[in-house]
Structure 1
Amino acid sequence: MIKRYQLTTFALLLTGSILRAQTKVAEFTPGAIWPDDKGVHINAHGGGMLYQKGTYYWYGEHKIEGGAGNRAMVGVHCYSSKDLYNWKDEGIALSVSPDSTNDIAKGCILERPKVVYNKKTKKYVMWFHLELRGQGYKAARAGVATADKAAGPFKFIRSYRPNAGFMPIYPEGTAEADKVNCDKPKDKSEGFFCRDLPGGQMARDMNVFVDDDGKAYHIFSAEENFTLDIAELNDDYTGHTGKFARVYAGHQTEAPAIFKHNGIYYMIGSGTTGWAPNPARWFTAKSIYGPWTYHGNPCVGNAAEITFGGQSTYVLPVEGKKNAFIFMADKWTPKNAIDGRYLWLPVTFKGDDIEINWLDKWNLDVFKK
């Protein structure tokens, strides 16, 4: 009887292992439910990626059921993968605080977390857009946390508005008339910049980019979302140096995602229409600070005018493949935030230009090695 029970148990375990193996996927299905290793839809919205020692780490906003799920009730979720298709739940990398006086108190708004690794300090550094609990989108702060391991736990350090008291730098050739003049602001966007100059610039939708020389940059929507700032981080990546440039001033851009290819900096973003999708927009520059050139919408085909229903969050370089970049976007569902979907699509290069086409299903074989 005991042997029969042991054999039955072994058979069930073996069958379960086979079934789990069969559920592994080897393709992307944009907009579909994307189960993790526990069979639960991945909960990492507005996310970013980190590649470290053969493993990809995906960090994003942990959502809950219903409209209140757009507030941070849990924190930042982390997943890991070796192949980009199949993801292991690594748990909560940064937890919100039960202390209502803490900047990241439960119920705050914590969006678009991005993590980079600092080779000098050997620390993992997370930046995110933070709105203080109960204040709507008034605070417009950048928050920073650090960890000793990629999956955390991350320790919150502080939040603030960047570059208080600092004026922007300008690309070579910038006309005097195009520079900020706080004695006589020339437009609404510049007026917001001058208003916020003493206390620091607003920092909402954001990303972080580490250049080839190890310098890191914080890219964020500022000036009531009218302008993007590209700001240098200090050597340990936990603060700003005061060196920054204003990009596409006055044109209301959010959801920035920056990457570099063949010495050219690329940035994809969106307009500002709340949770509703709108046309993506892309830019290029030969220097991180610009001048940046606007190129219009990179998306092509049906529903391109609404970015296939999504909004940019990150552009991921695929390790080990040449010219391989994945456009990552979120398909938001504000009435039930936890049901937000992920739109991952390959970036196609045509010379120095890019295109993003819709694919119902695809895999990494679309990229040449």
Structure 2
Amino acid sequence: MQIVGRGASKKFYPGEIWKDNNGVHINAHGGGVINYNSTYYWFGEYKSDTTSSAMVGVTCYSSKNLVDWTNRGVALAVSDDESSDIAKGCILERPKVVYNKKTKKFVMWFHLELKGNGYSAARYGVAVSNNVAGPYKYIHSGRVNPNIYPINMIGKDTVDVNSHYTDMMALKWWTPEWYDAIKKGLFVKRDLASGQMARDQTVFVDEDGKAYHIYSSEDNLTLQIAELTDDYTAHTGKYARMAISEMNEAPAVFKRNGVYWMITSGCTGWAPNKARLFTANNIMGPWKQLPNPCIGKGADLTFGGQSTYVLNVNGEFIFMADVWRPEHPSDARYIWLPIEFKNDKPIIEWRDSWSLSDFNK
């Protein structure tokens, strides 16, 4: 696919300070990008200097060329009302915005933890706007699909959740018996009434207009993929488990030539680890794991970053990752690298600098 137009030869410098139109390092972490009316909009977490808690909210930047970004301000502000789900000081992570062609509204999904409760809430949050840059209005948060079992937790390999449940919950963590119970749905049953946990997350809109919420669940042990309603603001009740008991987070999903791809990371807190790659012919699975897509120097630690999003640019793809700096959160950096396909598999190779015109080579 030919990449042409204004700024096609402008350079990206992965991992370096990335200044906006005001000369300030872009503050949009754990984010995602959408293209609307030939303009790109980057949404992400505003990080303060000393805390990773949400003291401002979700910021928005716009660009015509993906290199030069204009600060559009706060798209979703946290609330001064201490009773609000998104009270200032809550944890609000990995915001992703999608456009709904039917409702003509922009819908933002994010991972939400209630203020003062650590990571125990494990909720999703949703906000909507009539304007791409906002402001977004918070509408609700919660756990996923209460009282509904996943579509692929059926059959002989599923725990009889109505018998011996108490005994299974008493199993010692990380033992083979415990892993077996997890694979058969022990934590799905545990969270059935409240709904499934939702932490690191993304949203993917397929070519047919259907949208899906992909998130770390079951205490980050298993990824789940949940279908969204036609207006993209809630779940339909249809969902599936993948990479069961394998501890994945930071999902980034894209589709090429009818094949779905997902890049994730392991669960090592703020520290980087080796990226993981999955592929499927159906968004609901089954998903197959392939080797780490990163190659070259630093590949075993994803070049020091963690996946957050894959951006489709006219049929070419950009891998977006965050280099977290928890002691100085606002100084976290961004790694954007082109995804190449070799033997029909995605490859991400480190480059000190690159431009969109490199896709034409």
Same fold (TM over 0.5): yes
Matching residue of 2:46? 62
Note if contact 1:147-1:154 (Cα within 8 Å) is conserved in structure 2: yes
Q: Which residue of 2 aligns with 1:4?
A: none
Alignment counterpart, residue 188 of structure 1, candidates 182, 187, 191: 182
Alignment of 1:1-369 (within 5 A): 26-66=10-50, 68=51, 70-170=52-152, 176-179=155-158, 181-183=160-162, 186-188=180-182, 190-319=185-314, 322=315, 324-368=316-360
Aligned AA for 1:77? Answer: T
% identical equivalent positions = 59
SS at match of 1:31: coil
2: CA distance, partners of 1:326 / 1:180: 40
In our comparison, the structure showing a higher alpha carbon Rg is: 1
Q: Distance in 1 between matches of 2:23 and 2:157?
A: 53
Q: What is the deviation of 1:178?
A: 3.5
Q: Tell me the TM-score normalised to structure 1 length.
A: 0.89
Is the partner of 2:360 in helix, strand or coil? coil
Is 1:30–1:342's contact at 8 Å kept on the other side of the alignment? Answer: yes
Counterpart-to-counterpart distance in 2, 1:308 and 1:80: 26
| AA of the residue aligned to 1:339 | D
Asked if structure 1 preserves the Cα contact closer than 8 Å seen for 2:41 and 2:63, the reply is yes
Report what 2:172 is aligned to. none
Higher helix share: 1
Deviation at 1:239, TM superposition (A): 0.3
| Aligned CA-pair RMSD | 1.6
CA contact (8 A) 1:46 1:111 kept: yes
**Aligned-partner residue type, residue 54 of structure 1:** S
For each residue in 1:38-96, what CA deviation from the matched residue of structure 2 results, as whole angstroms up to 9, or x when unmatched? 10000000001111110000000001112x2x000000000000000100000000000
Q: State the Cα distance separating 1:188 from its structure 2 match.
A: 3.2
- Structure 1 counterpart SS, 2:301: helix
Aligned-partner residue type, residue 31 of structure 1:
G
Q: 2-side partners of 1:314 and 1:181: how far apart? A: 37
Q: Residue 46 of structure 1: SS of its match in structure 2?
A: strand
**Cα distance in structure 2, aligned partners of 1:180 and 1:131:** 30
What is the aligned residue count? 338
Contact (CA 8 Å) 2:9, 2:357: kept in 1 or not? Answer: no
Change beyond 3 A, Cα 1:52–1:295 = same
Q: Following the alignment from structure 2 to structure 1, what is the Cα–Cα distance between the partners of residues 358 and 21?
A: 25
* Structure 1 portions without partners, runs of 5+: 1-23
- After superposition, what is the alpha-carbon deviation per residue over 1:202-231, rounded to whole angstroms, capped at 9, x for unaligned? 000000000001000000000000000100
Q: Secondary structure at the match of 1:176?
A: coil
1:177 and 1:279, CA in 2 relative to 1: closer, same or farther beyond 3 A? farther
- Higher RCO (CA < 8 A, seq sep 6+): 2
When the two structures are superposed, what TM-score results if normalisation uses the length of structure 2? 0.91
Conserved 8 A contact 1:25-1:86:
no
